[in-house]
Structure 1
């Protein structure tokens, strides 16, 4: 039986992830243009090994000028601080008052193996980048020795009239507290509605909490679980996500998966993920059930659900985007 969200907390934001998983960015314009009329308030990009985090939002600024735009997230160690400030200033100029810069430490695979960078002191690098960006995007000339890098005389040629809000990817208490104390919000990922309460307790009631929610509109639970297990294994074996779920209390449930993955037995790792973990972390069912589940996240303290519809359900992804809209 679907649990209904409590009515105390109204849905204010309802986001969508771009690009869509079933089409290229170049093919996405028509569906992006539909989003505001469907009730979507936000479009958030991602940056792993496909599109970058900024170009999709630059296009969305023209295609759907009503929506808020956000990066969720761009890594702090794959660009220099100055380049990151320039990219953020460009988006802030294209979408004044509507751009949110989401940054985070990312992972060793993305930073080191894929981008030839150095993944060191992730908390300090994120903190230092946040502090630099605050000053740079305000138009200051920055000369500062931070713990993880040094800046000498950087100033944007044209600072944005309205500096963007900056939010942090945060999975555990220390980074969550940094997000609450020095940033404008926190972004998290791969959590259940019940987990939202624990995350919210770390950041207090006034910090915006954003989360990407993976959603598959399908009543074939076995099919969805097979798809989701591949995604979960890829993520939850990454040390930062493994530690996150230890903190959330899933350490023992996920231990067989981690052990099989470490031994190189990928198939055993997939099979070791319990159904209840998949069902907790991936939203699935018919569209009405999915919308109700998303509202559970909101009822428990999530301000901005950012939907990432997965292909493979009974309806085409384009229709799923429409069916998952808040007013559908």
Structure 2
């Protein structure tokens, strides 16, 4: 089992000590470091800034929101990051949700699967640099010839030669159609709120994608990285209680009430009634009560917590389910050191 450090996105201000956490993760033996974005800090800048002090770990985005940049702009950032890191970049992409896409980026959210397919195709054209980049659209037509076009646009190839034509593209996906698309066109799956209990269901989604004509990968060379809190402690009760308010936010308050992808994930796990109650309480302003409704079992489905023996046992369960990397968070180097024996085997 490999470990990736998930730095996430910033809150009201940059995290304190993140640079030290990144270098410590590399020294301990982490395989990769990831940054994210929401509607504040971006993913690429912190990755380049903190990643500059590393030599070995892979540097990934989990995830870059597709509506934040055109496909060619994302490809430019990816080829730049790959050069600066000496071929260590992983481009993690995701569609985000309608509140962010339409409310923050001012872009339409409709047809996320078709947009993803078109977006990834353009990024791969740029990285391959075999011909001038073109796209028939309809979402990202190149050259642009729609309303307001001058007619002077022409197909281009990137000036800079990419270091690697096959920079790994991993997709953040939660639903069955998106996971199947990920298996078809991507190099890896960034799974959020994964539970080994439903590995059989995930395998069906993945196998559908692997079986499609022209699929890029097979199960043997496809990476699955699952976000998972891993906490070594003799007081699991405190850790479970600490994470409940966060889960209440994501289940009950993240995204639109009628379209919350995180809530849908937990409904598939069998927590439909709990999701309804958490959502009702959270959206009525009773956030503390919403957190209290979150069952322990819901937390433990997607989190590993316990003493070292218990955690090692659970790691084997996740690995047997097909997960090759766990993306874990750490507030400081002290927390990282508690994970060091697990990372080193």
Q: TM-score, with normalisation over the residues of structure 1?
A: 0.84
- The alignment covers a number of residue pairs equal to 311
Superposition pairs for residues 51-200 of structure 1, below 5 Å?
51-139=41-129, 140-152=131-143, 153-163=155-165, 164-200=167-203
Q: Is the 8 A contact 2:135 2:142 kept in 1?
A: yes
Q: Is the 8 A contact 2:169 2:186 kept in 1?
A: yes
Q: 1:266 to 1:39 in 2, by over 3 A?
A: same
Helix, strand or coil at the partner of 1:168? strand
Q: Is the 8 A contact 2:9 2:42 kept in 1?
A: no
Superposition pairs for residues 309-324 of structure 1, below 5 Å?
309=330, 311=331, 317-324=332-339
Q: Distance in 2 between matches of 1:195 and 1:286?
A: 24
Runs of 4+ in 1 over 4 A off after TM superposition: 19-26
What does residue 327 of structure 1 align with?
344
Q: Paired residue for 1:220, among 235, 252, 257?
A: 235
Q: Is the 8 A contact 2:97 2:109 kept in 1?
A: yes
What does residue 279 of structure 2 align with?
258
Question: Shift of residue 267 of structure 1?
Answer: 3.1
Question: Shift of residue 32 of structure 1?
Answer: 2.1
Choose between structure 1 and 2 for higher RCO, CA contacts under 8 A separated by at least 6 residues.
Answer: 1
Q: Distance in 2 between matches of 1:14 and 1:293?
A: 14
Q: Distance in 2 between matches of 1:42 and 1:201?
A: 27
Helix, strand or coil at the partner of 1:82? helix
Range that drifts further, 271-280 or 140-149: 140-149
Q: Distance in 1 between matches of 2:246 and 2:282?
A: 13
Q: 1:318 to 1:287 in 2, by over 3 A?
A: farther
Q: 1:59 to 1:189 in 2, by over 3 A?
A: same
Range that drifts further, 178-187 or 256-265: 256-265
Superposition pairs for residues 234-273 of structure 1, below 5 Å?
234-237=249-252, 238=255, 239-273=260-294
Helix, strand or coil at the partner of 1:70? strand
Query: Max radius of gyration: which structure?
Result: 2
Superposition pairs for residues 11-22 of structure 1, below 5 Å?
11=1, 13-18=2-7
Q: TM-score, with normalisation over the residues of structure 2?
A: 0.81
Cα shift readout 1:8-62 (whole Å, capped 9, x = no counterpart): xxx2x22112369899467433332232331211111111245321123223443
Q: Is the 8 A contact 2:233 2:305 kept in 1?
A: yes
- Is residue 2:18 matched to residue 1:28? yes
Q: 1:241 to 1:20 in 2, by over 3 A?
A: closer
Structure 2 stretches lacking a partner, 5+ long: 144-154, 208-218
Structure 1 stretches lacking a partner, 5+ long: 1-10, 312-316
Question: Shift of residue 178 of structure 1?
Answer: 0.9
Q: Is the 8 A contact 1:254 1:272 kept in 2?
A: no
